[in-house]
Amino acid sequence: DQQVKQNSPSLSVQEGRISILNCDYTNSMFDYFLWYKKYPAEGPTFLISISSIKDKNEDGRFTVFLNKSAKHLSLHIVPSQPGDSAVYFCAAAAGAGGTSYGKLTFGQGTILTVHP
């Protein structure tokens, strides 16, 4: 029972264009969502997060959108750069106020390739 799903295993984008990575979840108790980025042979690195009280959070080139009614979130990268090529994981937690105790449920990742 995969409560967080990233249905696109891979995405290929031209440098300078927008990258859109998608994530769906099924558990209505999730109220905090995160994106992590992972390079080969390294651990995941926190990228950006959003609480369920918001529908958008922006940090530089990265914006996360949350659609609670659709149980869907997306990560937009504009403009995309070759250094953004990595695996992107979506994660969710139930209990942003601390009751999650850090229990994250991850999707299976999307490989983003940005071509020069």
Residue choice 8, 22, 49, 52 for contact with another protein (CB under 8 A): 49
Find out whether 5 and 73 touch, Cβ atoms under 8 Å. no
Residue choice 2, 12, 27, 81 for contact with another protein (CB under 8 A): 2
Binding track, positions 79-108, relative to another protein; x by CB under 8 A: --------x-x-x-x--xxx-xxxxxxxxx
Strands (E), the chain: 4-5, 10-14, 19-25, 32-38, 45-51, 56-59, 62-67, 72-77, 86-93, 105-106, 110-115
Does the footprint of another protein cover residue 27 (CB under 8 A)? Answer: no
Does the footprint of another protein cover residue 26 (CB under 8 A)? Answer: no
Does the footprint of another protein cover residue 20 (CB under 8 A)? Answer: no
Does the footprint of another protein cover residue 46 (CB under 8 A)? Answer: yes
- What single DSSP character describes residue 70? T
At residue 7, the 3 state secondary structure works out as coil
